[in-house]
Amino acid sequence: MRGSSHLAGRQWSFQCDVSSRADVDRAAERIRQEVGHPTMLLNNAGVNHPNLILDLSDGDIDSMFDTNVKAHFYTIQAFLPHMLARGSGHIVCTASALSYVGASLMTDYCASKHALLGLMEALRYELDKKYKAPRVRTTVVTPGHIRTPLFADVKTSALAAFLSPTLEPQAVAQAMVDALERQESSHIAMPFYAHSAPLLKTLPSFLRDLAQWIANADDTVSACTKAR
């Protein structure tokens, strides 16, 4: 929290199920009482359970949207009021390159990441035009594959690995820290190929299919389904 010199160097941890509004509200109240009002919010929690759409259970779908989408609403609603009151703050959302494109076995995941992009774009305009709080910044991160347990079983071809290299978590975290230090709203797309993801929708279908094939996008998560 900016401006709190007596808190410098100290760390706290609070266990919270972000998919539960009640749990988020309880954790938020504890944080306010024990630490103070946060001025930065990083929404990074996510789940994934790749499967064909007809094989997704109600529980799978609910879990996906409760954690990947609704949790963002819960945390923003919990901490945004104080940011508005002080006239500054920063909200960071980890979306995905799949916020722009789709891939087999990931209908629910892709849908959730598309939703996050819409949420953050609309929030930016609400902050600027309705709340009159342009100094409450927003940053959206749309990374490609990150080397985390969430996609630990993903398999890529040699060509796909060359054209779409896997990101290290530290690199993504550093990009977020850099955005917070700049205190500017931003959109972070990484690695290099993630910048072109929005353009794929404008390509003729045969070129779009070629890009999907080169990236091995429809087969990379097959190993995840076998490992379930």
Q: Give the catalytic positions in this structure.
A: 109
Q: Which two tokens stand for residue 54?
A: 């007809």
Distance (Å, whole) CA 75 – CA 189: 23
Distances (CA, A) of 223 to 49, 154, 157, 196: 12, 6, 13, 26
Tokens of 174: 């550093």
Strands (E), the chain: 40-43, 89-94, 136-143, 186-190
208: Cβ contacts below 8 Å, ≥ 6 apart: 200, 201
